[in-house]
Amino acid sequence: MRLAIITVVCLLSVLATTSTQTIESTADDILSFGTRIPGSAGNRLTRDYVIDSLNDDWEVKIQKSHQNTPIGELEFQNIIATYKHSNDHAGKIVLAAHYDSKIIPGGEFLGATDSVVPISIILNLAKDYVSYAKNSKYALQLIFFDGEEAIEQWSDSDSLYGSKHLANKWSENGKLSDIKLFILLDLIGTKDCRFPNFDIHKTTGTNEQYDLLRSIEASLRNHNDL
């Protein structure tokens, strides 16, 4: 697991060659589609944009599901992109974000940090990943979830539609065990962005990974690399 963490840090360093303006431009493109609630035109346009942004080095699959919601049955479409030339004998590292947006009755929620910027980060990393891929012993997989937001009110039954469906499917066929490290990018994009050590890290067994990332960040800052 320690090697997987270090691999992710090296992976994200690929973005060092990507300008902030490039990431902002990608975000602006997605924000121009408007709200991205499941089933909307903005949701479809964002999905098409994500798929079109991934070059031929990526195998892209759409995982569809029809689920009951407080407003009736809706279709959700997860985007799963796997780098074709990875050495996957050691397992997978997954970078994920959700591409739907929150429903605001009588209004429009665009969600720049929730989660357009995370999508932009992942897409721009994917463009330059080929330069690093040969050095990784892990397969890299990118997942863009649909239906993360609640349809009416956040609850166990009204939220995380796409991710729960995929997790259940992969649990049934044994694919979850292939994932060595799963990192969800969410609520990123403000100047004062912080990543607290929430209790979930301690209760789910990822506290060690959090502490390792924090120590790597501190070391990079000490050497003026951040």
| Residue 56 domain-assigned (yes or no) | yes
Rg (CA), the chain: 17
| Residue 60 domain-assigned (yes or no) | yes
CATH number of the domain where residue 164 is located: 3.40.630.10
| Residue 121 domain-assigned (yes or no) | yes
- Where in the sequence numbering do the catalytic residues fall? 148, 186
| Residue 209 domain-assigned (yes or no) | no
DSSP tag of 64: E
| Residue 206 domain-assigned (yes or no) | no
Range of the domain at 17: 2-192
CA 104 from centroid of its chain's CA atoms: 23
Domain count, the chain: 1
DSSP tag of 176: G
Strands across the sheet with 92-98, in order? 58-69, 72-83, 139-145, 92-98, 179-184
- pLDDT at position 159: 98
Give me the torsion for CA of 6, 85, 118, 10, rounded to 10°.
Answer: 20
| Residue 152 domain-assigned (yes or no) | yes
Mean pLDDT split into 10-residue runs, the chain, 226 residues: 67 70 95 97 98 96 98 97 81 95 93 96 89 79 98 97 98 93 92 84 83 84 76
- pLDDT at position 3: 66
Length of the chain: 226
| Residue 171 domain-assigned (yes or no) | yes
CA 28 from centroid of its chain's CA atoms: 18
- pLDDT at position 226: 65
| Residue 186 domain-assigned (yes or no) | yes
